[in-house]
Structure formats: C-alpha cells, structure tokens
Amino acid sequence: LNNFGIINIDSEFNPGFTNSGLLNNTGMIKINHPDAISNNSGSITGSGTYIQTGGTSNNTGNISLARIEIQSGIFNQQSGSLTATSIANNGTFNFTGGTLSAESLSNTGLFLGTGTIAAETFTNAGTLAPGNSPGMLTIEGNYIQTTRGVLAIELASATSYDILNVTGEVSLAGILKIILYDDYEPAYGTYFDFLTAELLNGEFDSIAGAAGYRWSVAYLDLIGLDGKIDTARLTANEVPIPAALWLFVSGMLGIIGLRNMWKIN
C-alpha cells in the first residue's frame, strides 16, 4: 500500500488503524480519535510523517519515517524497530523493547523506558523516567535536560535503582525527582550512582526528594575499566535538627532539671 496523501483516523465507528503488511508512506498518517487503538506488526516506511493526537499506538513491527510526533495519547514501542530523523513526544511514550533511533529526540511529555536509544541528541523538557521499576536506560548520544525537565529516579534498594547511562555529553538543569519504590527506606549515608556520562555539564536546579531525608548530589570523575567516566551520585542524608529546636529542647530540659531540684529541696 502506498500513501502519498493523508491517512486520517478519526472515525467513531472505526477509530483504529492496523497494519500487518507493507505501507509506503510519503505523506502523513494522522491518528486523531481519542479512543483509537493503532497496531503495527508490519512495516511502515518512507519519507512521510506519523502524527498522533490521541488514542494508543502499539508497534511490534518496523517503522522508519522522517518524523514521528506524539502530540497526546500513548505510544508503546514494544518490539521491532522505530527509526526517524526526528521524534517529538508530548504524550506518553513507553519504550519497553526493540530498537529506537533518531537524529533528534525531544520530550515534553512523559518518556518511560529501558534498553538502548540511539539518538544524536535527546532533549528533555518533560519527564524522563528510566527503567521499569527499576532499570537502566542507555542513550547512545548526548542528553540535554532543560530548566523545565525532570529526571525521575526510582530507588528500590542500595543495589537496585534506576540508572541513566549516556555515552556522550550531558547538560543538566531542571529537577531531579526521587521516588522510593515499594516502601524502600535507605539507611542514612546510602549512595546511588544514578547517572553516568562521558562528560557532565551543569547540575540539577533542585531535588524533589522523598520526605524524611536530606538528599544531595555530588558530581564526580571516576576511573573505571573503560577509562574516566563522569558520575552523578545521590546520597540519602539525615535531616538535621534545626538550631531553634535544639534551643527549645535544651530549654525544656533545663526547666525539668530545675523542677527536680526544687522537689529535692
């Protein structure tokens, strides 16, 4: 099947799109209906675009297009391959299997994934959540997190936690969000090397950490078997007792001591 125009999926009677064969797309495939369920187990190739404004798309086949744009809705990359010159996500993108590659990948929505992404540049202005509770996501390329970006890291134990591994350079800003998985309570002083890169630039603007801890991030140059690697290390610290509270407690203890003295006398 050859498409040189627009395939527009917005009918209430048949909101889905299924391809199990070969579709050559030099035009546009547009998924508009909010209840649309689109499944590709075949091959969609060409110089065209794939635009989703609602519904759910599932790919277990091969998609190779110039541009893929998820304006809203859910896109599940489950197996097979997904290749594009540019991928833009403003919905929910689940990367759970297969291969994913793009010259540029931008996220302003929610991007969840485990495995390896080949992207010259991954720009995050939304929320990036590596792993599948927990796990590792590798970006073969560079990672840029803007001031609006959030990196969400789940911690399950001292040895099991989300890791973002970047083979190129990382430029940091925005928020680091810490999530304690399955009621995990790390001991004070426990640290987590959650981000590795060839080169780290900048730092997170703020940390949205789980309550009960004072979270800190150190940006380190570590030497490993493959040479120097830059690492962001998160540490769970004890929350210090404020000086005013110490004065209050000390004062109360002093009053109790005086009362005891008066009783003795």
Confidence (pLDDT) at 5: 59
Please state whether the peptide bond connecting residue 242 to the residue before it is cis, i.e. omega within 30 degrees of 0. Answer: no
pTM: 0.87
User: Hey, which residues does 208 pair with through a beta bridge?
Assistant: 177
Distance CA 121, CA 105 (A): 6
186 or 257, greater pLDDT: 186
Which of left, alpha, beta for 117 (phi over 0: left; psi -120 to 50: alpha)? Answer: beta
Q: Which residue has the higher pLDDT, 26 or 13?
A: 26
Q: Which pLDDT score is estimated for 1? A: 56
Q: What is the 3-state secondary structure (H, E, C) of the chain?
A: CEECCEEEECCCCCCCEEECCEEEECCEEEECCCCCEEEECCEEECCCEEEECCCEEEECCEEEEEEEEECCCEEEECCCEEEEEEEEECCEEEECCCEEEEEEEEECCEEEECEEEEEEEEEECCEEEECCCCCEEEEEEEEEECCCCEEEEEECCCCCECEEEECCEEEECCEEEEEEHHHCCCCCCCEEEEEEECEEEECCCEEECCCCCEEEEEEEEEEECCEEEEEEEEEEECCCCCHHHHHHHHHHHHHHHHHHHHHHC
| pLDDT at 64 (0 to 100) | 96
pLDDT band at residue 224 using 50, 70 and 90 as cut-offs: low
- Count CB atoms within 10 A of the CB of residue 264: 6
Is the pLDDT at 155 greater than 80? The verdict is yes
Of 8-22, 63-77, 128-142, 219-233, the poorest mean pLDDT is in 8-22
In this prediction, residues 166-180 reach a mean pLDDT of: 98
Which of the two residues, 47 and 132, has the higher pLDDT score?
Answer: 47
Render pLDDT for 78-107 as a digit per residue (tens, 0 to 9). Answer: 999 999 999 999 999 999 999 999 999 999
With bands split at pLDDT 50, 70 and 90, how would you rate the model's confidence at 261?
A: very low
52: pLDDT strictly greater than 70: yes
Question: Quick check: 146 and 177 in contact, CB under 8 A?
Answer: no
Q: Which two tokens stand for residue 219?
A: 């940006």
- pLDDT digits 0-9 by tens, 177-198: 999 999 999 999 999 999 999 9
Q: What's the rounded Cα separation, in Å, for the pair 41 and 39?
A: 7
Q: List the one residue out of 43, 36, 35 whose CA is nearest residue 19.
A: 43
Residue 163 CA to residue 185 CA, distance in Å, equals 18
Residues paired with 88 in a beta bridge: 69, 106
CA gap 232, 223 in Å, rounded: 14
* CA atoms within 13 A of residue 164's CA, in its CB half-sphere: 29
Closest C-alpha among 92, 84, 94, 98 to residue 41: 98
What is the pLDDT averaged over residues 131-160?
Answer: 96
C-alpha distances out from residue 168 to 128, 140, 250, Å:
17, 7, 53
pLDDT tens, 231-251?
999 999 998 866 444 455 455
